[in-house]
Amino acid sequence: MSEHITFWYGCNVLRHGDIIHACLDILRALGYEPEPVGGVDYCCGTVKDANQTAAGGMATRTVGKLNARAAPVVVWCPSCHSHMHDFMARTNDRHFDMTYVVELLHAKRERLGPLLVRELPMRVFVHQHIGFNDLVPVNRMVPELLRLIPGVEVVEADYVAPGYMCASFAAIPRALEDINNNTARSARAAGADAVVTVFHQCYRELVGLDAAGAIPVYNYIHLIARAMGLAYEDEYKAWKRAGEGAAALIGAERIAKVGIQFYERAILPELKKRPKLQKSDPGS
């Protein structure tokens, strides 16, 4: 009998539906019955950090909703996971067990391994950050998960980025430029065929290296899903590669749902953005 769990994916789902759906199928294959919850009704409140009253209200609402589900919570978003520990659970009574998705997959790796039947011959460089590891040792766990995939070789990383994910440097373009350059340089120096990110937020930033022709970039869930034979299309990468022409791939109907002004103001500039690579880096 499958164990029911709540799969809390947070509020940022516009760009990475393929990763979320792949996570759900992976969890089902491991014997779980995940019930996905997210969107604005389950926001952790980090988007309102500048307004602690609003953030507190969102935190209380989300903890209450998760309490009412009476099932263990598996978290996809690292921001939600860390915010629950640092803020949400400190001011609200939490009545559910919670684990980060990497922790769960790593704990079930003996069951996961036999499901990875497709060989993926590639040398990969895992993009790591200093932060978050005090909460979950993802810099150790994700490479160990990737080594379960037939054909995958994880090269040793000689670069660890600051902070706990790329998105935390959104307001510091020079820092993101350094992260992109150091990641591409270190991956190539190690003889890697691809960069693999732990977090979807980092994937959204570093996939610009892929779009710029510097080096292929994946999220670790992409590779696990491919090794299992799950055929989810990475639409965000296709949109990013298309840049200005992404609207034709996204389609007028989906753009209308988020609003043409929002698409042109917030999404299109993101899709057109390319990293400023130094002259010595491939793709520059």
Q: What is the pLDDT of residue 6?
A: 97
pLDDT at 53 over 80: no
Rounded to whole angstroms, the Cα distance separating 157 from 106 reads: 20
CATH 3.40.50 range(s) for the chain read: 3-107, 116-272
pLDDT, mean of residues 34-48: 82
Q: What is the pLDDT of residue 50?
A: 55
pLDDT band at 88 (very low <50, low <70, confident <90, very high): confident
CATH code for the domain defined by 116-272: 3.40.50
Supply the pTM of this predicted model: 0.92
pLDDT at 190 over 70: yes
Helical H segments across the chain, by residue range:
17-29, 52-69, 78-83, 89-91, 101-107, 109-112, 138-146, 173-189, 200-211, 220-228, 235-242, 246-250, 252-258, 260-262, 268-272
pLDDT band at 280 (very low <50, low <70, confident <90, very high): low
pLDDT, mean of residues 197-221: 96
Q: Which of 33-47, 79-93, 99-113 has the highest mean pLDDT?
A: 99-113
pLDDT at 279 over 80: no
Mean pLDDT taken over the chain: 91
Q: What is the pLDDT of residue 92?
A: 87
pLDDT at 282 over 70: no
10 Rama sector, left if φ>0, alpha if ψ -120 to 50, beta otherwise: left
Mode of pairing for the β-strands spanning 122-127 and 152-154: parallel
pLDDT at 114 over 60: yes
Q: Which of 98-112, 142-156, 157-171 is predicted with the least confidence, judged by mean pLDDT?
A: 157-171
Looking at domain 3-107, which CATH architecture does it have?
A: 3-Layer(aba) Sandwich (3.40)
Contact status, residue 74 vs residue 5, Cβ threshold 8 Å: yes
Q: Which of 41-45, 196-200, 233-237, 255-259 is predicted with the least confidence, judged by mean pLDDT?
A: 41-45
Q: Which of 57-66, 113-122, 124-133 is predicted with the least confidence, judged by mean pLDDT?
A: 57-66
pLDDT at 56 over 90: no
Q: Which of 122, 128, 192 is nearest to 162 (CA)?
A: 128
Q: What is the pLDDT of residue 1?
A: 66
125 phi, psi to nearest 5 deg: -110, 120
pLDDT at 212 over 90: yes
Q: What is the pLDDT of residue 284?
A: 47
pLDDT at 248 over 80: yes
